[in-house]
Structure 1
């Protein structure tokens, strides 16, 4: 933090921060509106057939149709995304903590996790159908299998990024392993944890969608497969938009949580 920032009253600093956030939000909204405008103008002046690229108005008009069951399909997909992501976060962080406490466990299990992560998740789809049948569960497992590994890797790295002098200080004070973890390792690892969480949020959306393409009877991905046969491009685009909004909501929650628990200067973009 600069000397100028230190001289500012807390109220002025907070007001400036809020103003910066509002400007950033305004830019984000403006860019998205510009994208919609370009989309509309392209459909209008290039005379693109509807079955290739419907206009924004035609796409959003599908929300008024009950045949697509937008609400129920969106809720199913959201449950798969958030369920797989939550499971990946819990397992990834828990394993990273175990690895930081046991180098032997890292040597034994980390290569196995690397190998398993290299398996194409699409290839596991038929196996998941055999093991878990159709429904939400196999899609949650696929989302978990895709988003879990980045969270594990970044958290392991963060827990290892500890200053040797701090370790020596805690040991000289006869601090326990739990005190070392709670006071030193965990606070220092949080920026890395949230970096992995951001990547995992993106991958969880992809995992749930892939799962619905392979083994599902409900959800936005399943709906896209159904309307593809009739070239209902407007419904397919609307499903993509809703999938994106669910992913943006998850990513936004991660950013909000990071803002609450991590010091701004320590965040990793």
Structure 2
């Protein structure tokens, strides 16, 4: 017997949607379970707050205006996002220049590799001597940590483009910009986003290093100030906010990757 005309066919997206929902539910569940175990474990063992505060004690610090949470969070966020954005822009741009000039790559790229091997913490005092304190200096330190991963992965992606396609554009008298826009950029997007995800993880570390070395604002600066009084709940809160900023940046990059890169091409 033939199927009825109004019979609905099962959607192929249904199982995938349920699998994603179950995955996110498991992730949230694990985090909630950890927080609950932390809360009850601290209360049951009666650990002092300066050793390990309970999550409720950490959240209570948000109500204290003396910590200036909003201002310090804003400063750290600007340093993280500013340094990260500069690293993405300059990393992609320089990788494009290297893909156009083999001589420049042979001359400059090994120097960049050597400079990247220098510990950024060791460079911190020198950067402060050269550029003084402030948000711009910490953005520069963040940039130094994020730049090379973006450059390296983007350069690899640009080199993975089919040479025949590039030769075709050249034969049609296409400009380098059109070659990049229509051929190189779409083919290298998975590699660019791979570098951006690595850089997103490093961006928070860059801002923290800058604020630890010398700063008068920011969440890491606040951690140093409250450390002298063993205010562990405030230190934990600063770490949690920095973690949230990093996770938000990473999720934003993932969202852009889902938007611009086909599923089969994602790295």
TM-score, normalized by length of structure 1? 0.91
The higher radius of gyration belongs to 2
* CA-CA distance at 1:45 after TM superposition: 2.7
Counterpart in 1 of 2:255? 256
Tell me, in whole angstroms, the C-alpha distance in 2 between the residues paired with 1:220 and 1:124.
Answer: 21
Mapped partners of 1:171, 1:140: distance in 2:
39
Aligned match of 1:123:
122
User: What is the alpha-carbon distance in structure 1 between the residues aligned to residue 138 and residue 177 of structure 2?
Assistant: 36
- Mark the runs of 5 or more structure 2 residues left unpaired by the alignment: 1-7
Deviation at 1:13?
Answer: 4.0
Q: 1:222-233 to 2 correspondence within 5 Å? A: 222-233=221-232
Residue 44 (structure 1) shift:
2.3
The residue that corresponds to 1:4 in the other structure is none
After TM superposition, which residue ranges in structure 1, 4 or more long, deviate above 2 angstroms? Answer: 11-25, 44-49, 163-184
Q: Which residue of 1 aligns with 2:70?
A: 71
Alignment of 1:138 onto 2:133: no
CA contact (8 A) 1:138 1:215 kept: no
Q: Which moved more, 1:157-166 or 1:112-121?
A: 157-166
The residue aligned with 1:163 is 162
Aligned to 1:3: none
C-alpha offsets along residues 163-210 of structure 1, whole Å, 9 cap, x if unaligned?
344345445555443333222221111000000000001101000011
The one-character-per-residue Cα deviations of 1:126-149 (angstroms, maximum 9, x if unpaired) are 112222211101100000000010
Instruction: Give runs of aligned pairs for residues 103-114 of structure 1, distance below 5 A.
Output: 103-114=102-113
Q: Secondary structure at the match of 2:11?
A: helix
Cα distance in structure 1, aligned partners of 2:104 and 2:41: 56
Aligned equivalents of 1:181, 1:13: Cα separation in 2: 36
Residue number in structure 1 paired with 2:21: 22
Q: CA deviation at 1:18?
A: 3.8
Residues in 2 aligned to 1:13 and 1:205: alpha-carbon distance in whole angstroms: 39
Give the stretch that moved more between structures: 219-228 or 11-20.
11-20
Task: Work out the CA distance in 2 between the residues paired with 1:134 and 1:48.
Answer: 38
Partner of 1:238: 237
Cα distance in 2 for residues equivalent to 1:194 and 1:59: 34
Alignment match, 1:50: 49
**Corresponding residue pairs, total:** 260
- The reply to whether residue 80 of structure 1 matches residue 71 of structure 2 is no
Superposed CA RMSD: 1.9
- Cα deviation code 1:10-60 (max 9, x no counterpart): x93455544333323222211111111121132123332211100111111
**Distance (Å, rounded) in 1 between the aligned partners of 2:100 and 2:158:** 10
Q: Secondary structure at the match of 1:12?
A: coil
Normalising by structure 2, report the TM-score: 0.91
Provide the C-alpha distance between the structure 2 equivalents of 1:167 and 1:91, rounded to a whole number of angstroms: 23
Aligned to 1:31: 30
| Counterpart position of 2:246 | 247
User: Unaligned 5+ residue runs, structure 1?
Assistant: 1-7
